[in-house]
Structure 1
Amino acid sequence: MTPIVPARDGERMLTHSHGQDWLVSWHPVDDPQEGKPHGAAGICVTAADEMVLISHDGEHWGFPAGRPAGTETIEETLRREMLEEACVTVISSRLLGYSRSECVRGREFGLVLIRSYWRAEVRLQEWQPEFEIWHRRVIPESEAKKFVRDPDLAATRVSFRALDEAVAGDGPRPP
């Protein structure tokens, strides 16, 4: 099997979703992108250096993420989505970068979506699956790339880049 290479800064990767074609790219913190805010994704790490992954189907594992509700700030979105999808409480967080998705063919042609990626130091809560998430896995942080698999290669490459950014600098640990 060919190894998965993390996305490079600004590299545009073609993907197909819901009958549309999109160009997806990764952008570092110092290169914020213009577009419609599409929420936040959290690379959730516990005090024991464990990573929390979630899955809709038990096959594709990734990070909890979601869109803003009402007038939430992006950090409020991060905290709410981490609790709703992964049953974790965010203790502290550090912005890692952004994904930019531009629709290049389909009904949303021209739409640009921007999602922020964060390293979130978290405290595990009791697993009580709600909404659309039915699976949670807690793994050693060092093994994350063995498990993280999004439904398409471009998204997985963005996730791998976010993982690299998350381990590049150690944030504060929860008490």
Structure 2
Amino acid sequence: MNDIAGNGTDFAASINGQEWHVAWYPPPDPPSGTPHGAEAVCVAGDRIVVVSTDGQQWGLPAGRPERHEQWVDTMRREVREEACAEVMDCRLLGFSRGICVRGPQEGLVLVRSMWRAEVRLAPWDPRFEMAHRRLLPAEEAFQSLAIPKGLGPFYRRLFVEAAVPRPNTHDI
């Protein structure tokens, strides 16, 4: 298994019971496909923000676009809604492009923007789907993520591009 995703290299992953091929694409231009929102490595001081609906499965703030939203606007809104944080500065790191190759959505091609966001935390007042927020050192944040099987190299690339330490583990 490759340690870090290369540009345009597909990784097979099982997501929500379907088979997907997911690849990393560098900025500035998104690859072809249906815009499917934004995901951000949120940096608060020397910590990374992770969120969860159940306190067991942790992820990065992410979500789908609302009508006519630009990539950056989706990211800012999702960080505000899911992490109760304000984006002070951000940088587009790249794009994910997923192609469903088996399952009810076979043939669907989804594109998501990937970001590093410097954030200022607001008081924790969850009003949307996320019920938990944690601040963790980068290594611990990565290890706590519920990464779909096969996408470890993709998320390692995300953390490298975000300029936060990546884990040394190769088993994700």
**In the alignment, what sits opposite 2:47?**
50
Map Cα deviations across residues 1-22 of structure 1 (whole Å, 9 max, x no partner). xx99332322211122334221
2:54 and 2:157 map into 1 onto residues whose CA distance is 23
The count of corresponding residues between Structure 1 and Structure 2 is: 164
- Match of 1:126, SS state, is coil
| Unmatched 5+ stretches in structure 1 | 169-175
- Match of 2:162, SS state, is helix
Map Cα deviations across residues 131-172 of structure 1 (whole Å, 9 max, x no partner). 22111110123543332332x12344322211110007xxxx
> Could you say if the C-alpha distance between residues 19 and 144 of structure 1 is closer, same or farther in structure 2, counting changes exceeding 3 Å?
closer
1:141 and 1:19 map into 2 onto residues whose CA distance is 29
1:27 and 1:76 map into 2 onto residues whose CA distance is 20
Q: What code does the residue aligned with 2:90 have?
A: S
Map Cα deviations across residues 32-91 of structure 1 (whole Å, 9 max, x no partner). 310000000011012x22111112232222210011111111111111100000000001
**In the alignment, what sits opposite 1:14?**
12
Give the alignment partner of residue 92 of structure 2, picking from 91, 95, 99.
Answer: 95
2:136 and 2:99 map into 1 onto residues whose CA distance is 33
Superposed CA RMSD:
2.1
2:126 and 2:150 map into 1 onto residues whose CA distance is 27
Q: TM-score, normalised by structure 2?
A: 0.85
Give the alignment partner of residue 147 of structure 1, picking from 139, 144, 153.
Answer: 144
**In the alignment, what sits opposite 2:22?**
24
Q: Aligned ranges for residues 1-175 of structure 1 at < 5 Å?
A: 5-30=3-28, 32-46=30-44, 48-141=45-138, 143-150=140-147, 152-167=148-163
2:113 and 2:81 map into 1 onto residues whose CA distance is 18
Q: CA deviation at 1:117?
A: 0.4
2:12 and 2:151 map into 1 onto residues whose CA distance is 10
> Could you say if the C-alpha distance between residues 31 and 71 of structure 1 is closer, same or farther in structure 2, counting changes exceeding 3 Å?
closer
> Could you say if the C-alpha distance between residues 149 and 107 of structure 1 is closer, same or farther in structure 2, counting changes exceeding 3 Å?
closer
Q: CA deviation at 1:106?
A: 2.2
> Could you say if the C-alpha distance between residues 44 and 84 of structure 1 is closer, same or farther in structure 2, counting changes exceeding 3 Å?
same
2:55 and 2:27 map into 1 onto residues whose CA distance is 31
1:58 and 1:27 map into 2 onto residues whose CA distance is 31
Q: CA deviation at 1:31?
A: 6.0
**In the alignment, what sits opposite 1:173?**
none
- Match of 2:163, SS state, is helix
1:130 and 1:41 map into 2 onto residues whose CA distance is 19
